[in-house]
Every structure is written in C-alpha cells, then in structure tokens.
Chain A
Amino acid sequence: MKSIVTIGSKLALICAVAAIVLGLVNSVTEPAIEQNRKDELQRALNSVVSDGTVGEELTADDNPGIEGYYPVTGGDKKNTGYALKLIGIGYGGDMNILSYYGTDGEVKSVVLMENSETPGLGKMAEKNEYMAKFIGTGGSKPVPVRKDQLPQAEADAITGATITFMGIAKALDNGASFVKTLGEEK
C-alpha cells in the first residue's frame, strides 16, 4: 500500500513540474502565436477581398456557423459585399473558412484557413482550384451541397473527401443565406 502511494505521488510530482514548465512556455509564446493568427487572417482578408476596403468586424449572434463578418465598402463608399468567417464541420473537426460575398449572397471568393483535414484528401481544399466550383453560386444559383449537383469531373475530384466538401458547401450555403438577410434589413 505504501509503495503505491510513493509511486503515485512521484508520478504526480513529475506531471506537476511538467505542467508548470509548459504553463510558463505557453505564457511566453501565446502572444506571438496570437499575432501570427491575426497576420494570417489579415493576409487572407486582403487576398479574398479584391475590390474594396474591409471594415470593422461584426458578430452574428444567432448563427453559430458564422464566427464574425466584415462589411466591405467600395471606392464610392457603397457597400459591395461582406467577408465572412465561417465554421464548417469537416472530417477532422472544425474548419475555418474565409469567404467574400456580394450583397446578393453570391460567393466571390473563398479560402480554407486553419483545418485538420487529411493531407492529400481533404487538405486539397486549401488550393484555389478547389474553390472554383463555389464561385458565382449562392446568389441566383444555389451553392452545390451534394455531389450530384456537380459536373462529373469535379465530382470525381472530391471523391474520398466528400465530408470536407459537404462541410465547406454547407458553411457557404449558410453564409449566403445570412448575407441575404443582411441585404433585406437595409
């Protein structure tokens, strides 16, 4: 009995020391990691929004799939659209998606940000070509949310990573309907 207590407390001591050290390291690196995330988001916003200036971040309270959104204004101070930070559910958990919609809900451009999809399959969605199938949808054309809504060649291309595709498509669809409600309020 005594030996179990000794063994247990020694292991607990090792764990406690490890936890303290990691806490210290985390407090040093966290601001830098946070800054990297912000820089990356800014770079992504600039690459997604090609025709206007990005405004302050706003939050969509009653929509869990939208982490936040930015109104975009064009040169003549008119609202040209919205950039949305969307959360999609992929094969490896949440996927962060950044997309830019026209005021009518039409997808103008999309990038997949932080995600844990499978390299070689779901991760392919990080490429620009992958997102081409969503551009121009969401307004008058619906966002393709099922494989049979795609042309054969594109449907073949996502085989093996259907869950990633559905996750992105549903998030974009959700974003499109959200942008449409914004348009109506004005």
Chain B
Amino acid sequence: MIKEFTKGIFKENPIFIILLGLCPTLAVSNQVVNALGMGAGVIFVLLGSNIFVSLLKDFIPEKVRIPSYIVIIASFVTIVDLFMQAYLPSLSKSLGVFVKLIVVNCIILGRAEAFANKNTLANSILDALGMGIGFTLAIALIAVIREVLGAGTITIFPIGSFDGVITLPGLSAAPARVIGLSAGALFVMGYLKGLFNWMSMKKTGGDK
C-alpha cells in the first residue's frame, strides 16, 4: 500500500516521468514561493477530487464520468481560488490565472480517470498525496534552479522581519536572465528530464 504513495514521488513522478501538467510547471516555476503555492493548491485539489471520485465511483454513470469529474475538480479549484484571494492575496496575484487553470491540469483528471475510479478510498488518498507531493517537489526543484540562476535570489514566505527573499551575493549582480524567462523553463525542464533518464538508465544497466 505504501508504494501507492511513493510511486508518485519517484518512479511515476508526474512531471519528470509521466510528463503531465507541464503548462503550469513551466509558467509558475519562476519563483520558489509561487511553485510552493501552486504545489499546495494542486495537492489540495488532487486530494479532494481523488477522494470524491473514489467515493462516487459506483454512483457516477459511466457515460457522464468525465463531466462529473470536471464538476468535482472545478469545485475544488474554485474553493482554492476563493480562499487564496481572501487570505493570501499576494500569492493569488502572482499565480494569477494559473490557479483557475488547475481545473485543466492533466495530473488531476489523469489520476481521477486512471486511478481513483478503480481503487479504494485509502489507496486513492495515498495516490493523491504521492502525486501531489511529487508534483510539488519537481516544480520546486525547477523553481530553485531557475530563480538562483535567473535572478540570484530565493523567494520564500516572509516571516516576521524577514521579507522572504534570500539574495545570493555575486549571482544577483549578474544573473543569467534567460533562465528566468519562459524559454529558460524549457531548458531547465529538459536538462532535468535528461538527468533523470540518465540516472534511471545507469540504475537498470542501460538496457532501456
């Protein structure tokens, strides 16, 4: 059962292995705080949709399952969006339209269709947490690389007098701005995917 949880983090990581949800990954990985906010949103929506799809799998008629999933997913996304606007307005502002676009994030519909509608509630919850955390780790990794190389800073949550921005001396004076732009997201994503492929090939003895 534990492997339903861990598979999303490594073996079936949604971003690096099954390559789902790349649009928000590329778009909001410009700052670490945005990536973490997006990750939290995705974990919540994924958990909610997996729970309800799993619970309602016998109630939802086969013919209208996709519209039903979309209604469930869209409801959770709207809840996240409203709460973010109300209590985290600055995060909501910097994520912009990408919060609403969680509705069409393929990870969520993909897990509902490929996993939650055939599995038990407990397994669906573990699957959602694993996939959500896998997504968050991957997007945060891309964001750290992009922000450090592209701006020379690491932006996290402001706590007390600390404003949340760690400025790295040297790098912030002459950053490689292209890494912070959209094209840089593709570069970083591509190199990381290559690195993970190389690592898994080395592990299996290169027979793939």
Contact = CB atoms under 8 A, between A and B. Distances in A.
Interface of A: 6-7, 10-11, 14-15, 18, 21-22, 25-26, 28-30, 32-33, 36, 40, 116, 119-120
Contacts of A28: 86
B60 A29 contact: no
B78 A14 contact: no
Contacts, number: 53
A22 B75 contact: yes
Contacts of A29: 82-83, 85-87
A33 B82 contact: yes
A15 B64 CA distance: 12
B169 interface: no
A36 B63 contact: no
20 contacts: A11-B64, A11-B71, A14-B60, A14-B72, A18-B75, A22-B78, A22-B79, A25-B78, A25-B82, A26-B82, A28-B86, A29-B85, A29-B86, A32-B86, A33-B82, A33-B86, A36-B85, A36-B86, A36-B89, A120-B182
A119 B60 contact: no
Given A10-B59, A10-B61, A25-B79, A18 B86 contact: no
Contacts of A21: 75, 79
A10 B71 CA distance: 12
Interface residues on B, range: 20 to 34
B177 to A, nearest CB: 13
B61 A7 contact: yes
Interface in B71-96: 71-72, 74-75, 78-79, 82-83, 85-87, 89, 96
A10 B75 contact: no
A180 B148 CA distance: 50
